[in-house]
Structure 1
């Protein structure tokens, strides 16, 4: 593969932000992608709407936002795996995500079928 690691990371961040806008109706404020061996680690900041931020002030609201956001992103996980494959040429075999309702940050981790970092460095 002739792409540089930083360019692939930037392309993933940009494409995920665009996917969020199209699929969820709004994108995150800041996205950072890191390739580490066979893992893609994506940190998204500023993902909660003002209404969701207000809901998170109570425990039931916080749990509702967390549950709803998880369900929304999970329904798009196959599409996200396809996007990752198109950008990297490597199959995403597993998808993990969690959101912090306190900080408004989401972390997405993809496990890949190959060591993408080694592939990009070769």
Structure 2
């Protein structure tokens, strides 16, 4: 079991791990990442995750098709990377997430990842 940390330290550790995942697995890190732990959920908000090519595709003449394709590819990639994400959360919190939900805005370049946990994590007092 990991050493008990404060909620803020744990949120920071999760943000850093997600940034590493995005850089190593997805090929580009976000411009900004914030993590919030609320009861038995972990909400991760990533800004600026789209590549320059994806941004161009999202603004192309057939904008809806381009955005749809970006969302589909990113969804597929995150599903293939899910075991890595689950392992990161388990390493930091000491328990496996039970589900992962995600969506990306091809318009703003923002991604939201929500993990649900079996039980709310415990923290030491800040």
TM-score of the pair, normalised by structure 2: 0.91
Number of residue equivalences: 120
1:87 aligns with 2:92: yes
Task: Give unpaired runs (5+ residues) of structure 1.
Answer: none
What CA distance in whole angstroms lies between the structure 1 residues aligned with 2:72 and 2:93? 30
What is the CA RMSD across the aligned residues, in angstroms? Answer: 1.2
1:76 is aligned to 81
2:33 is aligned to 31
Say which of 37, 46, 49 aligns to 2:48: 46
Alpha-carbon shift at residue 2 of structure 1 (Å): 2.6
What CA distance in whole angstroms lies between the structure 2 residues aligned with 1:99 and 1:24? 13
1:22 aligns with 2:24: yes
1:12 aligns with 2:17: no
What CA distance in whole angstroms lies between the structure 2 residues aligned with 1:96 and 1:13? 16
